[in-house]
Structure 1
Amino acid sequence: MKKLEPGTEIDGFRVRECIHAGGMAHIYAVDYAQEGRSSGFPMAMKIPRMTVGDGAETIVSFEVELQILPVLSGPHVPRFVAAGDLSRLPYLVMEYVHGQTLQHWLDLPQRPDAETIARLGPAVAHAAHSLHQQNVCHLDLKPANVLIRDDDGSAVLLDFGLSCHAHYPDLLAEEMRLAVGSPAWIAPEQIVGVRGDPRSDIFAIGVMLYELATGELPFGAPTTSGGMRQRLWMTPAPPRKHRADIPAWLQEIILRCLEPEAAQRYPSAAHLAFDLANPGQVLITERGERLHGTPLRTHLRRWFRAAGMQYTPSPLPAQQIEDTPILMVAVPHADVSDATLYSLRQAVGRSLGIRPGARLACVTVISPSASSLTDSERSETTLHRQHMARLRQWAQGLDLAGHSVSYHVLEAGDVAHALVRYAASNHVSMMILGAATHGLQTQRFIATVPMRVARDAHCTVILVKQALPFAQLGQALDD
Structure 2
Amino acid sequence: MQRFEAGTEIDGFELVERLPSGGMAGVWRATNPRFDFPLVLKIPFLDPGADVSVILGFETEELILKRLTGPHVPRFAASGSLADVPYIAMEFVTGRSLADEIGNAPRPADEVTRFGVEIAKALAALHRQKVVHLDLKPENIILATRGVVLLDFGLARHAELPDLLGAESSVPMGTAAYISPEQVLGERSDPASDLFALGCILYQLATGEEPFGRPATFAGMKRRLYHAPRPPRDINDAIPRWLEAIILRCMEVDRSRRYSEAAHVLSDLRNPDQVVVAKGRARPEKGMWAAIANLFRKVDDKSLVGRPAGPRGQAGPSIVLAAVDLANGSDALAREVLNETARVLASREDSWLACVTVLKTEIIGDTPATDESGSSAYVKRLVALKDWAHPLHMPEDRISYHVLEAVSPADAILNYAEHNDVGHIVVGARSSSAIRRHLGSVSTKVVARAFCSVSVVRLKAVEEQGRHHKEDTAE
Matched residue, 1:232: 225
Distance (whole Å) between structure 2 residues aligned to residue 49 and residue 194 of structure 1: 27
Distance (whole Å) between structure 2 residues aligned to residue 119 and residue 307 of structure 1: 35
Question: Which of 92, 95, 103 is the aligned partner of 1:107?
Answer: 103
Q: Which amino acid counterpart does residue 272 of structure 2 have in structure 1? A: P
Q: Is the 8 A contact 1:196 1:314 kept in 2?
A: no
Distance (whole Å) between structure 1 residues aligned to residue 36 and residue 297 of structure 2: 54
Does the alignment pair 1:263 with 2:256?
A: yes
Distance (whole Å) between structure 1 residues aligned to residue 183 and residue 26 of structure 2: 27
Pair 107,312 (structure 1): closer, same or farther in 2 beyond 3 Å: closer
Q: How does 1:52-451 map to 2 (within 5 A)?
A: 52=48, 54-108=50-104, 110-149=105-144, 151-152=145-146, 154-286=147-279, 294-296=284-286, 300=294, 304-307=298-301, 309=303, 315-316=310-311
Q: Is the 8 A contact 1:232 1:306 kept in 2?
A: no
Q: Is the 8 A contact 2:46 2:54 kept in 1?
A: yes
Matched residue, 1:17: 17
Q: Is the 8 A contact 1:237 1:293 kept in 2?
A: no
Distance (whole Å) between structure 1 residues aligned to residue 194 and residue 302 of structure 2: 24
Unaligned 5+ segments in structure 2 are 315-475
Distance (whole Å) between structure 2 residues aligned to residue 306 and residue 239 of structure 1: 28
Matched residue, 1:43: 39
Distance (whole Å) between structure 2 residues aligned to residue 281 and residue 15 of structure 1: 51
Distance (whole Å) between structure 2 residues aligned to residue 7 and residue 176 of structure 1: 39
Q: Which amino acid counterpart does residue 208 of structure 1 have in structure 2? A: I
State the 1:2 CA deviation: 6.2
Q: Which amino acid counterpart does residue 24 of structure 1 have in structure 2? A: M
SS of 1:21 mapped into structure 2: coil
Pair 24,293 (structure 1): closer, same or farther in 2 beyond 3 Å: farther
State the 1:277 CA deviation: 1.5
Matched residue, 1:335: none
Distance (whole Å) between structure 2 residues aligned to residue 238 and residue 300 of structure 1: 22
SS of 2:239 mapped into structure 1: coil
State the 1:192 CA deviation: 1.1
Q: Which amino acid counterpart does residue 31 of structure 2 have in structure 1? A: D
Pair 301,148 (structure 1): closer, same or farther in 2 beyond 3 Å: farther
Give deviations 1:435-462, integer Å, cap 9, x for gaps. Answer: xxxxxxxxxxxxxxxxxxxxxxxxxxxx
Q: Is the 8 A contact 2:255 2:307 kept in 1?
A: no
Q: TM-score, normalised by structure 2?
A: 0.61
Pair 237,5 (structure 1): closer, same or farther in 2 beyond 3 Å: same
State the 1:100 CA deviation: 1.1
Distance (whole Å) between structure 2 residues aligned to residue 49 and residue 302 of structure 1: 46
Pair 148,227 (structure 1): closer, same or farther in 2 beyond 3 Å: same
Distance (whole Å) between structure 2 residues aligned to residue 266 and residue 38 of structure 1: 43
Q: Is the 8 A contact 1:47 1:90 kept in 2?
A: yes
Q: Is the 8 A contact 2:127 2:191 kept in 1?
A: yes
Matched residue, 1:403: none
Q: Is the 8 A contact 1:240 1:246 kept in 2?
A: yes
State the 1:250 CA deviation: 1.1
Q: Which amino acid counterpart does residue 115 of structure 1 have in structure 2? A: D
SS of 2:107 mapped into structure 1: coil
Aligned-residue CA RMSD in angstroms?
2.5
Q: Is the 8 A contact 1:28 1:45 kept in 2?
A: yes
Aligned residues: 309
Matched residue, 1:361: none
Q: TM-score, normalised by structure 1?
A: 0.61
SS of 1:182 mapped into structure 2: coil
Q: Is the 8 A contact 2:141 2:148 kept in 1?
A: yes
Give deviations 1:76-131, integer Å, cap 9, x for gaps. Answer: 110000000011111000011111111010122x5211010111101111111111
Pair 87,119 (structure 1): closer, same or farther in 2 beyond 3 Å: same
SS of 2:116 mapped into structure 1: helix
Distance (whole Å) between structure 2 residues aligned to residue 274 and residue 306 of structure 1: 33
Pair 208,304 (structure 1): closer, same or farther in 2 beyond 3 Å: farther
Distance (whole Å) between structure 2 residues aligned to residue 18 and residue 28 of structure 1: 4
Distance (whole Å) between structure 1 residues aligned to residue 311 and residue 30 of structure 2: 36
SS of 1:265 mapped into structure 2: coil
Q: Which has the higher contact order (CA 8 A, sep 6+)?
A: 2
Distance (whole Å) between structure 2 residues aligned to residue 276 and residue 191 of structure 1: 27
Q: Is the 8 A contact 1:235 1:293 kept in 2?
A: no
Q: Which amino acid counterpart does residue 249 of structure 1 have in structure 2? A: W
Distance (whole Å) between structure 1 residues aligned to residue 273 and residue 296 of structure 2: 31
State the 1:295 CA deviation: 3.2
Distance (whole Å) between structure 1 residues aligned to residue 239 and residue 156 of structure 2: 32
Q: Which amino acid counterpart does residue 50 of structure 1 have in structure 2? A: L
Q: Is the 8 A contact 1:194 1:314 kept in 2?
A: no
SS of 2:259 mapped into structure 1: coil
State the 1:23 CA deviation: 1.5
Q: Is the 8 A contact 1:27 1:47 kept in 2?
A: yes
Does the alignment pair 1:30 with 2:20?
A: no
State the 1:137 CA deviation: 0.4
State the 1:305 CA deviation: 4.3
SS of 1:220 mapped into structure 2: coil
Distance (whole Å) between structure 2 residues aligned to residue 312 and residue 86 of structure 1: 37
Distance (whole Å) between structure 2 residues aligned to residue 194 and residue 114 of structure 1: 33
SS of 1:201 mapped into structure 2: helix
Give deviations 1:384-405, integer Å, cap 9, x for gaps. Answer: xxxxxxxxxxxxxxxxxxxxxx
